[in-house]
Amino acid sequence: MSPVRPLSRRYVAREGAPSIERVELSIFSIRYFTRCLSCTTCSDWCCSHGVDVDRENVQRILARAEEIERATGVSRDRFFAGGDHDDAEFPGGGSTRTRVENGACVFLDREGRGCKLHRHALESGFDYHEIKPMVSSLFPVTFDDGTLHASDEASDDELVCLGEGETLYRGARDELRFYFGEAFVAELDKIERELDPTEERRLPVVR
């Protein structure tokens, strides 16, 4: 198990959950091919299992159900797998998962690449965070019991794009700033510099 560093305070995400008090140091050392849509070998492997969607995000997706159906070709009855679960770490106090069909998330663009929800938001001119699940945006960094840590796929060496590229932290840094704020990222940047001073000279990831 990777060492864990306590943070100076508890940081609460912009929607009230989750909150982070500790960080697993492996996110500053594990590297992966960060520019996902430039990868030509993985066949969107990370979209194989669907993704957790918090209750508030579910409602935002359903509020746009008609336009999402038109843009993605996915009917609203196929959006989610069902089985809502209580979980205080998610906005709204719980989550469900996107449906998996034919071995991948129902929102995977099988004719192109990437997430249809993300693409629809960009093409429609609104912030993709409104409908794209937080867990998906942060991947391959995630959270559990107040700890920011590498996803299981990364820590178990299963993620097919591990090895070359930016660290998990650098890849998720902009998303962490969006959800948890500038002070959170500033504290993580300080830890990063302590562990590897060369990272301070690296340019931010351009997505």
Query: Which residue segment(s) compose the domain that 105 sits in?
Result: 4-201
Assigned domain for 146 exists: yes
Phi, psi of 54 (to 5 degrees): -70, 160
Assigned domain for 207 exists: no
* Report field, pTM of the whole predicted structure over 0.85: yes
Domains of the chain: total: 1
Assigned domain for 34 exists: yes
What pLDDT is recorded for position 164? Answer: 79
Assigned domain for 206 exists: no
Model pLDDT for residues 154-191, shown as the tens digit of each residue: 888 877 667 778 999 999 999 999 999 999 999 999 99
Assigned domain for 99 exists: yes
What is the residue-level pLDDT of the chain in tens, covering all 207 positions? 689 999 999 999 999 999 999 999 999 999 987 666 555 565 676 678 899 999 999 999 999 999 999 999 999 999 999 889 999 999 999 999 999 999 999 999 988 778 999 999 999 999 999 999 999 999 999 999 999 999 988 888 877 667 778 999 999 999 999 999 999 999 999 999 999 877 554 544 433
Model pLDDT for residues 122-132, shown as the tens digit of each residue: 999 999 999 99
Helix 182-195 × helix 168-180 angle, to 10°: 160
What pLDDT is recorded for position 165? Answer: 87
